[in-house]
Chains A and B, each alone.
Chain A
């Protein structure tokens, strides 16, 4: 297993466009998390999945943000009608439900720039 994979690594988009990011977790991990990291800040929790179920989504930043994990494997994070304030690093992480105390394995992130 090569760890948590995120694509693309970088995305530049025009304001108002929709963007979608993909995360492939460690294959045996049943939990998958999305975080946003802005410059000079620590990662901010957005949402998480246990298998295909999205168990926490109240912290998604607005209704323009949505995430899916249709078959309990990879996940996508979509931002509709992007704004300049959405420019950030979007991090994905995964873990085993019964081993969350071991911490998460993070991907390298997708850096979004909205122009």
Chain B
């Protein structure tokens, strides 16, 4: 079974600063997908960024980028130039490649990110 660990229950930074959220996972699989989801207060969960394990290049989406270290089983999220609207719960998630994702997403417990004005 796969596990996802997010060791930072809560983080707080000033607006415009850069913040990094950590995520580690445990799997014996070689091919898989990793995701970061954002869940704003009382709103639906939305996908922030994703990474295929077979790709060495780190994914980037505008102000969001990841540092994927496959050997270390680490998948951190960096948010640059943080904005007030980035305040949310952030979940790291894992999906096995085999079975076409039939085992669903495995989520970590989340990090509550607060952006201070």
Q: Is the CB of A48 within 8 A of B104?
A: yes
Residue B83 interfacial (CB < 8 Å): no
Q: Is the CB of B109 within 8 A of A45?
A: no
The total of chain B residues at the interface (CB under 8 A) is: 26
Q: Is the CB of B102 within 8 A of A48?
A: yes
Interface residues of A in 97-115 (CB under 8 A from B): 97, 100-104, 106-109
Once A42-B110, A104-B105 are accepted as A-B contacts, the answer to whether A97 and B100 lie under 8 Å apart by CB is yes
Once A42-B107, A48-B104, A56-B103 are accepted as A-B contacts, the answer to whether A101 and B50 lie under 8 Å apart by CB is yes
B26-65: CB near A (< 8 Å → 1, else 0) gives: 0000000101010000011111001010000000000000
Residue A23 interfacial (CB < 8 Å): no
Q: Is the CB of A56 within 8 A of B44?
A: no
Determine the chain B residues whose CB is within 8 A of the CB of A104 once the complex forms: 47, 105
Instruction: Decide if the interface of chain A is mainly helix, strand, loop or mixed.
Output: mixed
Q: Is the CB of A108 within 8 A of B44?
A: yes
The residue from A43, A101, A103, A107 contacting B107, defined by CB atoms under 8 A apart:
A43
| Min C-beta distance of A110 to chain B, whole Å | 12
Bound CA span A48–B105, Å: 11
| Min C-beta distance of A40 to chain B, whole Å | 7
Q: Is the CB of A55 within 8 A of B101?
A: no
Determine the chain B residues whose CB is within 8 A of the CB of A108 once the complex forms: 43-44
Determine the chain B residues whose CB is within 8 A of the CB of A95 once the complex forms: 101
Bound CA span A95–B102, Å: 12
A17-55: CB near B (< 8 Å → 1, else 0) gives: 000000000000000010100001111110010000001
Bound CA span A102–B101, Å: 11
- What are 10 A-B contacts with C-beta separation under 8 Å? A42-B109, A43-B91, A45-B105, A48-B102, A56-B104, A100-B100, A101-B33, A102-B47, A103-B105, A109-B44
